[in-house]
Structure 1
Amino acid sequence: MLPQLLVLLLILDWVSVSVWSQVKVPIPVLWMVPGPDLVLVSSPDSALDSALVPGLVSGPNPALVPGLAPGPDPALVLALTLAMEDLKEHHGLLKNHKLQLHKLEGQCDASMALKSLFKEKGAGLELLLLLGEACPSVTSLLLPALPALNMVQVSFLAPPPLLSHRRGLGHMVSTVPSDWALNQALVKLLQTLNWTRVGLISEKTQRISQALRDLQLQLDQAQVQVLSSVRFSQDACSALKQLKDREVRIFIALVEEHSASELFCCVYRQSLFGPRLQWLFLGAVGRWSLGWTQSLCSTQSLVTAAEGSIQVQVQGLRFNQDPGVSGKSAEQYEHLYLQRLSSFGLKAAPLHGFVYDAVWLAALALNRLLDQTKNQNQIGTLNPNKTLNAPRDLQLSAHKLLQAVKATRFNGVTGPVQFRGGERMATLELTQFQGSSSVVVGEFNTSDQNLTLNLHLLQFKGSGPPRDRTMVRTQLRHVTLALYVVMAAASSIIILFSLSILFLCLLNRRLRLVLWRSVSQEELLCLGVILCCVSVLVSGLDQVPVSDQTRTVLCSVHVWTLCVGHSVIFSVFFTEAWTQYSLRHHLPKSHLQTPWRLLLWLLLLEALVLSSWTLTDPLSWVETLLLLQVDQSEEDAMVQTVSCLCGCSSSELWVMTVCGYKCPLLLFVSWLEISVPQTEEEEQQRKTRNRELRNRSLQLGLEIDRLRRELFYPGSTQESTHKYPESTQETPPVNLNQQ
């Protein structure tokens, strides 16, 4: 009996061990999937039963029936189901554990979501992982509370861009790149095509509002000018009218997929398309299909308006022949997914591939933690009849799980899944709407911030990419060589002539009668003329290739020679006028020295002003805008004529200062010339000349009148001649003066 009893005990022990090895300890995972108010009825071979995922129940005939309570999107739930099926086929994954999914109710109701969360925690479950995504209102509430709840969220929706850029996601990791990465790709595209002036139009939603704020920050950092930023909720045409009034050429649109048809309809009705305009769109996952939503325009009109528009979007499935971590390639997964969808009569969800990879990311991260925990001998005896209590049995923490999620790398159906600072590294697509389809024209790699643009695939309505503004080509207007040669020759002749006169004056100075034994007026006049002619020679050297410092010196020489030359010439006329005025008014001889004192003070004042001008605000070469004309040789271009002149920051102020003391002196000299009295003989000669001029004017008028009468009144010529025969001959000069 004893040997038989021992054999029986061995058999029972072997059976208990085998049964114990087949029992897997469930790891509770809270999941949520936003979607329509529909409940999916699954096929009998579904991998998830109603206890794991509420809403998925067994039934003989798969069908889609409306539910009374809000339910998840069935197309996304199907992707989650396929991931769970593939996980069951990998027996070595998660060791003797399995994922147990608990649905979070109220994905779009914050109060209901919190109630469901605490209800699950109150049932004795130590929830460590939150899988999926809820509505933005619920996400914004749960995200900051995840560290306090000791939970990590693995999402399949794009995280908020501002938090992603600032690394403020905390305990959230998403398999979808954030809108911050989309904005980076868009800014790179603008820089590649040399677009620096844009207009923004966005829809009033919470997700787009966050993406818009981040886009504006990135545009400002890239020095891209935003001419106008408008938002709309219902009427997109009014918002487009504001951009049209600002003459925007590069439009950036941030709208939801269902609003694309309405926006393009307004674009078509306002003629905001053509070779000079370009539309850029920030999309999510998947490509738009125009015309499937109701609008006031036909499908052909929408296609015409959307022709050539470029969309930056997240790449969906990464099609290649390499199998992923699940053993299936992207083609195999998509084929199975579409086959299941067709059996249910569903439409594919753009995010289904990211849901599939999110489930695998959660499973691989937990498996990584289990391996680390086993190596550290921190795992105790597990009770197969009790749900896993993560802090007590595995001594895990949310921080360790978060690090494990960020360190996990694998090949998924959406491409390589890896993270940097919590941000998903992926490849973004740039597609252009050509004809009735979208063509991939470039890619943006978020890991190295590199944009690859296939220029040969891009198609524009014009000869090339449209410009963000009318190109203004600068054309420098120089002093023509012929004009400079003529002016230089004339100035040189005058300088030579003045030097000759100056030489003769100095040679014959002893033979001349000089009043005050000083420089004669002729010598001063020649010196002033020479200085003014030198300024003419210097001012025409704008085509000479010299340095900026040399041009500054030439500008100073031009101003000094012109001002000093003018003052010297003015001194000659002032001395002559003052001398005549003094002699005619019989002023004392001591007053004859007054002009020289005045001129001395004038030269000192001018030297002070010009020195201050040169030292404090030196002249330099300044471009002055002249005419703006249409360029006939190039499309959408203007020619701006520019002239290079000497100038400074306060040139008007300095010119007014110089004129402030020169103009009163010129008026004073004019008054002296007028005030000089004349003798009686000179006065009589002046009156005689005036009388002769008046007589000749009268005779000319009578002759013109006679010719007019002969031309228009031939019969009255004799009468006029007989009537006025002697009046023109015998009219005394005195009577003419009286008339």
Structure 2
Amino acid sequence: LFFFFQCDNAKGLKAFYDAIKFGPNHLMVFGGVCATVTSIIAESLKGWNLVQLSFAATTPELADKKKYPYFFRTVPSDNAVNPAILKLLKHYHWKRVGTLTQDVQRFSEVRNNLTGVLDGKDIEISDTESFSDDPCTSVKKLKGNDVRIILGQFNEEMAVKVFCCAYDEEMYGSKYQWIIPGWYENLWWEAWINSSQCLSKNLLAAMEGYIGVDFEPLSSKTNKTISGRTPQQYEKEYNARRGDGQSSKFHGYAYDGIWVIARTLQRAMNYLNSTNKHQKIEDFNYSNQKLGNIFLNAMNETRFFGVTGDVVFKNGERMGTIKFTQFQEQKEVKVGEYNAVDDTLVIINNSIRFQGVEPPKDKTIIQEELRKISLPLYSILSALTILGMIMASAFLFFNIKNRNQKLIKMSSPYMNNLIILGGMLSYASIFLFGLDGSFVSEKTFETLCTVRTWILTVGYTTAFGAMFAKTWRVHAIFKNVKMKKKIIKDQKLLGIVGGMLLIDLCILICWQVVDPLRRTVEKYNMEPDPAGRDISIRPILEHCENTHMTIWLGIVYAYKGLLMV
């Protein structure tokens, strides 16, 4: 049992080989902090039948059991955050995300693993962007692809650049959610803000609300651990013993690692006692593959509650607890945790603060809103129309009742009746033109397109045609320069109006047969939601239209214009 600390491949290998060659037989290797040294030694352990347990090596590369079959770790790997991220995405129903990754192997490996985790889980990675030094182009592409939920993998220095770019592109606030590594140092941005090109207040504005994901240093449960202490009691004793010494977030995993080794050796001894009375763990040597496999299997069976939570291995990987923190008012606040053992996510009540009234949408939600005729306005116009029709009915009744009186008879009561009836038809069209999608179905609306056109056209021609006929009669009489008595009877005037209606009928039938009116929806530019929700409102307006609308209206307007002239 030994430790090695130096992050130098040559020195690490030499220390390891010296221990193998000159030291006593070691049952296991405990340690390995730096990824490069740890991976080199872990790859060679099979040759000595040695099991290695690390408490701080988080590089995803070490999860390859074909390459590192004898390697275990009590600390979750960098990839362990991905199932937690998946659970968070599911919790908030985010089905469309984008990734932004710094071109470093560590981050690329996590991104690649995340792609596999999300595959088949009904979550689309709509855009995958990476960068070396300047993330602004990638951030701009994410915005161009309408990515709202951004999963980032980059270090602190690049994080400052990313959020500066996000501020410039307005990719922050209520419409966006950034999810990034949570292992940054406290006040991490202060070390890099001076090298950036944005103001501190702008950077903090863009950072507000981001969610960090990292392993939990110590369990938040109050249960007693295998040592008899609660995680809180352990932390208190740890802080008391280290005094002013620097703390490491891996100390709990190192502590649990000692217990893992102890339980592994105990389990191996129990196994040997029950199966082979003549062999002990002290008989282990580097060529003893049988004992090496016993240690390997015993460690795989580890399960207990430690200061970092449930200590369970799956293919040598720690099934640990992942914590979620959120950047709120310039400080990190824990908002939830994910337990990999039972695959559960717990969000602390009312701890997550989204910038809007609800969590951001995973894409721009366009809600079409039918622009309707104002009901009060429609009611007022309908009331005025009814009054007009009542007044017209009164005039019609008066005209019919007194049609034989001299003055009324001289004014052509039949023509007057047609004028009134035409006006009443035109009045009736007001009711039909006020009916839209808020009152009738789409099919009914399309029928109304034809009905109201016919009613208004016939009403207009009837009223103005009768007025035209009366005017023509007066014109014909006064144009009679010989002053001969000339009688133009109402029957002739009715024929004139009938002829005009026949022309209307021909135009309307051709219009209906050749190019009928259809319900058409016109869409306008998007508008922000008045209620402040993270959606865009696209106003739509329904109206009646056909392919050659301009031609048909031109024919009708030209013909009707002659009546007015």
Superposition TM-score, scaled by structure 1 size = 0.49
Match of 2:218 in 1: 317
Q: Please say if 1:214 is aligned against 2:177.
A: no
Q: Deviations over 1:87-112 (max 9, x none)?
A: xxxxxxxxxxxxxxxxxxxx431x44
Change (3 A) 1:235 1:146: same
Q: Deviations over 1:698-733 (max 9, x none)?
A: xxxxxxxxxxxxxxxxxxxxxxxxxxxxxxxxxxxx
Change (3 A) 1:627 1:329: same
Change (3 A) 1:196 1:437: same
1:642, distance to aligned residue in structure 2 (A):
10
Q: What is the rounded CA distance, in whole Å, between the counterparts of 1:629 and 1:264 in structure 2? A: 27
Match of 2:262 in 1: 363
Change (3 A) 1:166 1:532: farther
Q: Please say if 1:204 is aligned against 2:176.
A: no
Q: What is the rounded CA distance, in whole Å, between the counterparts of 1:625 and 1:165 in structure 2? A: 57
The residue type paired with residue 337 of structure 1 is Y
**Contact 1:202–1:230 (CA under 8 A) maintained in structure 2:** yes
Q: What is the rounded CA distance, in whole Å, between the counterparts of 1:167 and 1:455 in structure 2? A: 42
Match of 2:245 in 1: 346
Q: What is the rounded CA distance, in whole Å, between the counterparts of 1:169 and 1:634 in structure 2? A: 56
Q: Please say if 1:31 is aligned against 2:12.
A: no
Match of 1:419 in 2: 313
Q: What is the rounded CA distance, in whole Å, between the counterparts of 1:393 and 1:218 in structure 2? A: 39
* Secondary structure class of the residue paired with 1:397: helix
Structure 1, gaps ≥5 residues long: 1-28, 34-70, 72-106, 383-387, 492-528, 543-622, 644-739
1:459, distance to aligned residue in structure 2 (A):
1.0
Partner of residue 187 from structure 1, selected from 78, 83, 86: 86
**Contact 1:314–1:429 (CA under 8 A) maintained in structure 2:** yes
Q: Please say if 1:481 is aligned against 2:444.
A: yes
The residue type paired with residue 438 of structure 1 is E
The residue type paired with residue 289 of structure 1 is L
Match of 2:299 in 1: 405
Q: Deviations over 1:261-307 (max 9, x none)?
A: 554455456654222222111334x8743445242267655543322
1:360, distance to aligned residue in structure 2 (A):
1.6
Match of 1:436 in 2: 330
The residue correspondences of 1:244-259 to structure 2 (distance < 5 A) are 244=143, 246-257=145-156
Q: What is the rounded CA distance, in whole Å, between the counterparts of 1:634 and 1:167 in structure 2? A: 56
The residue type paired with residue 232 of structure 2 is E
1:214, distance to aligned residue in structure 2 (A):
0.9
* Secondary structure class of the residue paired with 2:108: helix
Q: Please say if 1:450 is aligned against 2:344.
A: yes
Q: Deviations over 1:490-522 (max 9, x none)?
A: 99xxxxxxxxxxxxxxxxxxxxxxxxxxxxxxx
**Contact 1:369–1:401 (CA under 8 A) maintained in structure 2:** yes
Change (3 A) 1:263 1:338: farther
* Secondary structure class of the residue paired with 2:18: helix
Change (3 A) 1:440 1:165: farther
Match of 1:496 in 2: none
1:31, distance to aligned residue in structure 2 (A):
2.5
The residue type paired with residue 304 of structure 1 is A
1:404, distance to aligned residue in structure 2 (A):
0.6
Match of 1:336 in 2: 237
Q: Deviations over 1:385-404 (max 9, x none)?
A: xxx55149998522221111
**Contact 1:290–1:302 (CA under 8 A) maintained in structure 2:** no
1:211, distance to aligned residue in structure 2 (A):
0.8
The residue type paired with residue 324 of structure 1 is T
* Secondary structure class of the residue paired with 2:72: strand
Q: Deviations over 1:135-176 (max 9, x none)?
A: 322333333433233121111135554764888752222112
Change (3 A) 1:145 1:410: same
Change (3 A) 1:170 1:487: same
Match of 1:630 in 2: 527
The residue correspondences of 1:709-724 to structure 2 (distance < 5 A) are none
**Contact 1:379–1:393 (CA under 8 A) maintained in structure 2:** no
The residue correspondences of 1:469-508 to structure 2 (distance < 5 A) are 469-474=363-368, 479=442, 481=444, 483-485=446-448, 487=450
Change (3 A) 1:380 1:431: closer
Match of 1:293 in 2: 191
Structure 2, gaps ≥5 residues long: 371-436, 455-507, 543-565
Change (3 A) 1:127 1:209: farther
Q: What is the rounded CA distance, in whole Å, between the counterparts of 1:366 and 1:159 in structure 2? A: 24
Q: Please say if 1:108 is aligned against 2:8.
A: yes
Q: What is the rounded CA distance, in whole Å, between the counterparts of 2:349 and 2:515 in structure 1? A: 54
- Comparing 370-379 with 262-271, which one deviates more in the overlay? 262-271
Q: What is the rounded CA distance, in whole Å, between the counterparts of 1:441 and 1:315 in structure 2? A: 12
User: RMSD in angstroms over aligned alpha carbons?
Assistant: 4.2
**Contact 1:321–1:329 (CA under 8 A) maintained in structure 2:** yes
**Contact 1:308–1:434 (CA under 8 A) maintained in structure 2:** yes
**Contact 1:311–1:431 (CA under 8 A) maintained in structure 2:** yes
Higher RCO by CA contacts (8 Å cutoff, separation 6 or greater): 2
Q: Deviations over 1:643-680 (max 9, x none)?
A: 9xxxxxxxxxxxxxxxxxxxxxxxxxxxxxxxxxxxxx
**Contact 1:261–1:290 (CA under 8 A) maintained in structure 2:** no
Q: Please say if 1:223 is aligned against 2:137.
A: no
Q: Deviations over 1:310-346 (max 9, x none)?
A: 112211112444432233332333223223433xx43
Change (3 A) 1:452 1:336: closer
**Contact 2:310–2:341 (CA under 8 A) maintained in structure 1:** no
1:482, distance to aligned residue in structure 2 (A):
5.3
Superposition TM-score, scaled by structure 2 size = 0.63
The residue type paired with residue 137 of structure 1 is T
Change (3 A) 1:401 1:434: same
The residue type paired with residue 307 of structure 1 is E
Change (3 A) 1:303 1:532: closer
